[in-house]
Chains A and B, each alone.
Chain A
Amino acid sequence: MSREEILSKVKTAFVSVLEHENFQLSDETTANDVDGWESITHMMIITEVEKTFNIKFKLMDLMNMNNVGDLINSIESELQA
């Protein structure tokens, strides 16, 4: 799966949790850039992403996830594992 495909599926997960589409996602996007992305919704987004890709993140990865780029990197490495 290419990074673009991953990003597009990630966007779908964000929309389904946040219930709006008023945001752009790029590697540098952080929680501060997206309305409604905070502690609770973050966990919901993580769960949604795990379901979409049928993967399970490790706490070590989640702990260092600071932007969408980090999220996609983690998805990529989980998909290869």
Chain B
Amino acid sequence: MEFVKRLQESIEKHVDHNVLCINGVFYTYQDFALEISKIRLAITTEIEDSEKLIGLVTNDDLLTYASIIALWLEGKAYVPVNPEVPFERNAKVFELTETKYVLDSSDNSVYKDYRVIASKGIVDTEINLTPKQFSGDQLAYILFTSGTTGLPKGVPITFDNVQALVGAIDVESTFNLIPSDRCLQMFELTFDFSVVTYLFPLLSGSCMYTIPKGAIKYFYIFKLINEEKLTVLTMVPSIINYLRPYFGEINAPDVRYCSFGGGALHSDIAKEWSDCLPNCKIFNYYGPTEFTVYSGFYPYHKNTDTKSHNGIIAIGTPQQDTLYLVVDENNEEVVIGETGELCLGGPQITPGYWKNEERNAQSFFMKNENGKSVRYYKTGDLCLKDEEGDFLYVGRADFQVKIRGYRVELAEIEFHAKFKSEQKVNMVALDITNALGNAELGLAIESEEFDSEYIFDYMKIKMPSYMIPMHVRFIKEFPHSINGKIDRKELRKHFNIN
């Protein structure tokens, strides 16, 4: 696998460089190479060759990153679980993937029912970063996103998928990391955006700077920009929404690249943010987890490239080998300028949701393109293509929302809330925009007021914290639209949170 081989070469070539800065402590590529080799030896001695999906507890430490590379050198996939997410949900992920082994750098692992490989304190060994030979259709990772039925939805990504992503970014001449780059890695490793924020720095011998768990992210990021002079930022737009009241105090001439993804980037804030970064190229990336992080981007420039639709910056054009297709409800391509659902085809497409045939039948379809059959993924995002071939984001086609970059199915929240509630009443989860322009979750309950605390306690053991509604309102009767559907727009007005 070419990109794994290149990881080896990069790590070996940059031994005297720093690879990671975690909570103020720097680690070199030499330290990294040694930890990878130690964990790799533990993997080869303790795990049988046939076992391909290995659990990984995503602590914010060198060992966790080393574990990913060690697994890849052995042609195995990581199944990441966030230690801050309820155990029950993580156990569900391992159950769905039939994961038996878990790599865990914690002092005391909570995964007693699994075969835990403690990555801390493994004895020293020779450095060995030569990748094993394996086939590209093997899985590199599986990530789980929110699902409508209360069960998280697994997205498997193969080594070939990742190779195609690396190839597409490589040919992009406007984005080139160098060993002296200092890159922000703000993402939790269960979030697919993290793949680009660790993989590209590692392939270039650059240094990554993580955000300690528990830190107030947007202020910590500013601290890193200010004190560590970061040169490459990759962020979700909500971060700059939080920093916006303080833009006047930010001037970061060292930043060369700033990539956005995982949510709509608004033109007014992009312009103001751009003023804070005088020497920076800004990229507005688009891509779902199902298509291996990125599928394309729009190169934003505050003066020359500001294309937008309803105030949202364009998502531009597909990257190398990727096809974009905007379709109607019959999966037929719509004409230029007309809104439809964006579908993606090409080598970065996931083999399909993990053991979920029903969902796969809905989300993927085949289409004949110039005599070749192409498989497309339906993103659920509404887009239109303009005369110049740029794609513009219009909105979501379903009840999925983004909370701090995480995809959340509102139906999953409703499912858990209704399941636990003793009062069998209607409940609707809503996304509400706060004064800073970020989405917060609200739960509307169609009832006289009652004590709902136990429902929230239950949701907290079932779902990660970003999925727990922060606002609750009791409404005696839900408003309905003319065709009898619950009027979510009207319901939102009950949440005057600003």
**Could you list which residues of chain A lie within 8 angstroms of chain B, going by C-beta atoms?**
30-32, 38-43, 47, 58-60, 62-65
Interchain CB contact under 8 A, B222 and A63: yes
* B226 CB within 8 Å of chain A: yes
Interchain CB contact under 8 A, A40 and B440: yes
A59 nearest CB across to chain B (Å): 4
A73 nearest CB across to chain B (Å): 16
Interchain CB contact under 8 A, B219 and A40: no
Supposing A40-B470, A43-B436 touch, asked if A59 and B222 sit within 8 A by C-beta, the answer is: yes
Supposing A38-B465, A39-B404, A40-B440 touch, asked if A62 and B214 sit within 8 A by C-beta, the answer is: no
Interchain CB contact under 8 A, A42 and B250: no
What chain B residues lie within 8 Å of A59 (beta carbons)?
A: 219, 222, 243, 246, 249-250
* B331 CB within 8 Å of chain A: no
What chain B residues lie within 8 Å of A47 (beta carbons)?
A: 435
Interchain CB contact under 8 A, B219 and A63: yes
B355 nearest CB across to chain A (Å): 33
A43, B250: Cα distance in complex, Å: 18
Supposing A39-B404, A40-B470 touch, asked if A64 and B214 sit within 8 A by C-beta, the answer is: no
* B271 CB within 8 Å of chain A: no
Of listed B220, B246, B404, residue having the most chain A CB within 10 A: B246
Interface on chain B toward A: helix, strand, loop, or mixed SS?
A: helix
A54 nearest CB across to chain B (Å): 16
A16 nearest CB across to chain B (Å): 12
* B482 CB within 8 Å of chain A: no
What chain B residues lie within 8 Å of A31 (beta carbons)?
A: 214, 216
19 contacts between A and B (CB under 8 A): A31-B216, A32-B214, A38-B216, A38-B465, A39-B218, A39-B404, A40-B434, A40-B470, A41-B470, A43-B218, A59-B219, A59-B243, A59-B246, A59-B249, A59-B250, A62-B246, A63-B219, A63-B222, A65-B219
Nearest B-chain residue to A18, judged by Cβ: B470
Known: A39-B242, A43-B242, A59-B219. 5 other contacts (CB 8 A): A40-B470, A42-B216, A43-B436, A58-B246, A59-B222
A5, B250: Cα distance in complex, Å: 33
A71, B36: Cα distance in complex, Å: 41
A22 nearest CB across to chain B (Å): 11
Interchain CB contact under 8 A, A63 and B226: yes
A63, B221: Cα distance in complex, Å: 9
What chain A residues lie within 8 Å of B249 (beta carbons)?
A: 58-60
Nearest A-chain residue to B453, judged by Cβ: A20
A64, B222: Cα distance in complex, Å: 10
Interchain CB contact under 8 A, A62 and B219: yes
Supposing A32-B214, A59-B246, A60-B249 touch, asked if A40 and B223 sit within 8 A by C-beta, the answer is: no
* B217 CB within 8 Å of chain A: yes
* B308 CB within 8 Å of chain A: no
Interchain CB contact under 8 A, A64 and B404: no
Nearest B-chain residue to A58, judged by Cβ: B249
* B109 CB within 8 Å of chain A: no
* B438 CB within 8 Å of chain A: yes
What chain B residues lie within 8 Å of A32 (beta carbons)?
A: 214
Nearest B-chain residue to A20, judged by Cβ: B453
A36, B406: Cα distance in complex, Å: 18
What chain B residues lie within 8 Å of A64 (beta carbons)?
A: 223
A31, B246: Cα distance in complex, Å: 22
A13 nearest CB across to chain B (Å): 16
What chain A residues lie within 8 Å of B223 (beta carbons)?
A: 63-64
B446 nearest CB across to chain A (Å): 21
A40, B498: Cα distance in complex, Å: 13
What chain A residues lie within 8 Å of B436 (beta carbons)?
A: 43
Interchain CB contact under 8 A, A39 and B217: yes
A38, B218: Cα distance in complex, Å: 11
What chain A residues lie within 8 Å of B465 (beta carbons)?
A: 38
Ordered nearest first, which 5 A-B pairs have the shortest CB separation? A59-B246, A59-B249, A63-B223, A42-B216, A63-B219
What chain B residues lie within 8 Å of A30 (beta carbons)?
A: 214
A42, B223: Cα distance in complex, Å: 16
